[in-house]
Structure 1
Amino acid sequence: MGVTPLHIVNARLLGGATGSLLAEGGHIAALDPSEVPDGAEIVDARGQWLAPGIIDLGVFATDKPAFHFGGITRAALMPDAGPLDNPGLVERAAKGGKPDLWVHPLAAATKGLEGRELAEIGLMKQAGARAIATGRARIADSGVMRRVLAYAASLGLVTIIHAEDEGLTAGAVATDGEMATRLGLASAPAVAEAMAIARDLALVEETGAPVHFRQVTTARGFDLIRAAKAKGLPVTCGITPAHLFLSHTAIGDFRTFARLSPPLRSEDDRHACLAAIADGTIDILASGHDPRGPEDKRLPFAEALPGMAGAETLLAMGLQLVRDSHIDAPRLFDLLAANPAKLLGIDAGRLAVGAEADLILVNDGTPWQVDAKKMAAWAGNTPFDGMPVQGRATMMWKGGQRIR
């Protein structure tokens, strides 16, 4: 049985104009169509934003209820669970959420994510891997990293990199500064990020391989990314809302929900993050979704595992960036959907004829309060607990079929 054609009317399109969209056969057939097929389902958007479904790049768990709450129709799964270092595991992960959520596995760059021996990247690509990733840590051995980049590039895959120099960050749980000193926490200098980025950019220049730095969170890191982009190197970078809205003061009272990787930075670096999202240096806004239960978080700060449940707050925090005039709505959905789709090589993430009809309606004015105890995620470890926010997805379609 085919999918019933879908006609969404009275929608606010991302440019701001009111319009309509027709989806047929799982794809976008027309914007403001002159003719609508008989029997089409008509949905009145009542002036809500119509946007492409969010493509969340770099999640650590397939958490469908949280993704559906947050307007996420596709998620790129980090290789750490498993790890995803062989074709069978990649193939299984790719089937994980269908049909109402598509999971795009990111293959482990090295066997066991140990940074020593290349994994079966070619076979994992055939099994459905859309990119490769170094996981929660970087590859310390520069020779191994060079081989990874060259091999991934030969297969047309982007390498997604974690950027912290482990020689500096070993044992650290916070960024050097007044807050870490006051709390007596082991800390590392923020320059650990720039040092890792600098090495990998040198290897990109050497190999021509495309890379994506999953999280860049410091002024010095962004300076390096800007210079690389100005040279024409195939480099992109991302960030999560935590580093845009919170600084290291959020770890006061030893709040383990604010124990993240990379750790929260100084207020100066936070402002550098906001500047980088405004000027186009940052390409992707992702949730970093990493649900951690009480057994991982109800511990002394230094023993708690890093990570946040970010899927449900991603859209609301992104809309806050629009309200604060750092970016406009079309740029927000480039960050949330179009750019992740481009990196993964999938025809989605845009409201364009022929693209997959992965769609969300967004009421940007709905007020709500983030509540860790009521989250749809299987763990509610959010650093935004208690924060009042605005905006949520009210309806979702995957391939033109309503899923919420």
Structure 2
Amino acid sequence: MSLLFTNARLIDPETKTESMGSLIVENGVIIAQGSEITTHKADKVVDCQGKCLAPGIVDLGVKVCEPGERHKESYKSAGRAAAAGGVTTIVTRPDTTPTIDSPETLEFATRRANEAAPVNVVPMAALTKDRAGREMTEFGFLLDAGAVAFTDCDHVVTDTKVYARALIYARSLGALVIAHPQEPVLSKGAATTSGKFASLRGLPAVSPMAERMGLDRDIAMVEMTGVKYHADQITTTRALPALERAKANGFDVTAGTSIHHLTLNELDVADYRTFFKVKPPLRSETDRLAMVEAVKSGLIDIISSMHTPQDEESKRLPFEEAASGAVALETLLPAALRLYHAEQLTLAELFRAMALNPATRLGLPSGRLCEGAPADLVLFDPDAPFVLDRFKLHSKSKNTPFDGQRMQGKVLATYVAGEAVYRRN
């Protein structure tokens, strides 16, 4: 089947350009795109009416709570939320119940994802068994079973000898290791970032230096082992010089940040609103602006949702006791468009960080509009205003910090391999 998109505002993250033109898809693959395409016989023609057509988002670090906690999120509900948010590939975390730390649990998760989710699902596996930091997992078998990276998520491996062995083994197999840069003792029990605001609210806090210390340790381990390394979330100004030095020294290091740390700050916690409790905690406005600039310069490579569903019972608690995390598959794009409307990042820069760079880091062919790339696409109107109602989200859990907020940017349609998996009514 062939598909022709006409009158589209093409957002190309590889060339960092925006241009009016057309795009042709055959058998799920892009065969041509550009302004000179005027006539082409296709089975179906989609008039984009001047709206934006971009590569589908590749969201690195999505938690799907299946198995074990399907009441929070299943592959079916997460897939629907992703499609409604313009996310065509979700890269899932292994911090489930039980942990995805064996070929058997990984194959179960992959089978369930393929059955239930309308978008691409690629899994990560745990770095150590049960994410306990004592014994590394069977990397070779897990790679064969489809794991694209290894991570213990927010469980920092404190035994550096175990950590070193795992990194050396990952290096021998060419595997990517994703880590959460935090000094675990300093950050334990923290609900917000240290400073005047935390003191006034009487909340347990952590210094931004905890992130810097964790990243410094990880970079030293990268230098020692030569492993491919990705820091899942860089959120503080103090961590940026260490990241810059690591890249300047030629280490195979990349870094990401979450959409919440790019668009919210510590003051949004206000009157102990637990939907704003995330991990790491929200930072100062100075840190937020520094993260935006780091994305623009390319120092931070990837923007992700860090989608973490939590049920009402775990959020309806005092701020200190409430669970961390927020759902963000459907809010990732409209929240990111805040940076576009504020003229801080262009659309091409946003999609470079949300689609091209994560796909490239994981060795996936998506995230592009070039010939031969899979036709994983999102058609959206960046200017359409709306007020977010959390109860209309497709996710089972509704813990979003953007509830009731005015936002701009609606997904009109999402395509996976040229097939429409979502259309806005």
* TM-score, normalisation: structure 1: 0.96
Give 1:367's aligned residue. Answer: 385
Give 1:79's aligned residue. Answer: 94
Q: In structure 1, how many angstroms separate the alpha carbons of the residues matched to 2:125 and 2:351? A: 25
Q: In structure 2, how many angstroms separate the alpha carbons of the residues matched to 1:280 and 1:16? A: 19
Give 1:117's aligned residue. Answer: 135
Bigger shift: 125-134 or 378-387? 378-387
- State the secondary structure of the residue aligned to 2:338: helix
- 1:5–1:37: 8 Å Cα contact kept in structure 2? no
**Structure 1 residue 35 displacement after superposition:** 8.6
**Structure 1 residue 38 displacement after superposition:** 4.6
**Structure 1 residue 37 displacement after superposition:** 6.5
Give 1:16's aligned residue. Answer: 18
Where do residues 46-195 of structure 1 align in structure 2 (5 Å cutoff)? 46-61=49-64, 62=75, 63-81=78-96, 82-98=98-114, 100-195=118-213
Of the three residues 14, 25, 28, the one matched with 1:26 is 28
- 2:296–2:349: 8 Å Cα contact kept in structure 1? no
Deviation digits for residues 12-57 of structure 1, max 9, x if unmatched?
A: 1122211111111211111148597655211111111110111100
Bigger shift: 89-98 or 73-82? 89-98
Q: In structure 2, how many angstroms separate the alpha carbons of the residues matched to 1:333 and 1:164? A: 27
**Structure 1 residue 268 displacement after superposition:** 2.1
Deviation digits for residues 127-176 of structure 1, max 9, x if unmatched?
A: 01011112122211111111222212222221111111111112222211
- 2:22–2:37: 8 Å Cα contact kept in structure 1? no
- 2:192–2:203: 8 Å Cα contact kept in structure 1? yes
TM-aligned CA distance change 1:47 to 1:176, over 3 Å? same
- 1:137–1:163: 8 Å Cα contact kept in structure 2? no
Q: In structure 2, how many angstroms separate the alpha carbons of the residues matched to 1:363 and 1:271? A: 25
TM-aligned CA distance change 1:109 to 1:36, over 3 Å? farther
Where do residues 264-279 of structure 1 align in structure 2 (5 Å cutoff)? 264-279=282-297
Q: In structure 1, how many angstroms separate the alpha carbons of the residues matched to 2:377 and 2:264? A: 30
What value does the CA root-mean-square deviation take over the aligned residues?
1.5
Q: Does 1:225 align with 2:243?
A: yes
Bigger shift: 132-141 or 334-343? 132-141
Give 1:295's aligned residue. Answer: 313
**Structure 1 residue 341 displacement after superposition:** 0.6
- 1:71–1:315: 8 Å Cα contact kept in structure 2? yes
Q: In structure 2, how many angstroms separate the alpha carbons of the residues matched to 1:337 and 1:191? A: 30
Instruction: Among all aligned residue pairs of Structure 1 and Structure 2, give the percentage whose two residues are the same amino acid.
Output: 39
Give 2:361's aligned residue. Answer: 343
Q: In structure 2, how many angstroms separate the alpha carbons of the residues matched to 1:91 and 1:36? A: 45
Letter in 2 for 1:281: L
- 1:31–1:353: 8 Å Cα contact kept in structure 2? yes
Of the three residues 216, 235, 259, the one matched with 1:241 is 259
Letter in 1 for 2:103: P
Deviation digits for residues 54-77 of structure 1, max 9, x if unmatched?
A: 110001114122111110111000
Letter in 2 for 1:48: K
Deviation digits for residues 240-298 of structure 1, max 9, x if unmatched?
A: 12111221111221111011100111222222212212221111110011111111100
- 1:218–1:265: 8 Å Cα contact kept in structure 2? yes
- State the secondary structure of the residue aligned to 1:108: coil
* TM-score, normalisation: structure 2: 0.91
Unaligned runs of 5+ in 2: 12-16, 65-74
Letter in 2 for 1:64: G
Give 1:306's aligned residue. Answer: 324
Deviation digits for residues 66-125 of structure 1, max 9, x if unmatched?
A: 111110111000110131100121122223333621111111000000011001111011
Q: In structure 2, how many angstroms separate the alpha carbons of the residues matched to 1:329 and 1:154? A: 38
- State the secondary structure of the residue aligned to 1:16: strand
Letter in 2 for 1:74: T
**Structure 1 residue 321 displacement after superposition:** 1.3
Q: In structure 2, how many angstroms separate the alpha carbons of the residues matched to 1:329 and 1:115? A: 40
Q: In structure 1, how many angstroms separate the alpha carbons of the residues matched to 2:300 and 2:388? A: 25
- 1:110–1:117: 8 Å Cα contact kept in structure 2? yes
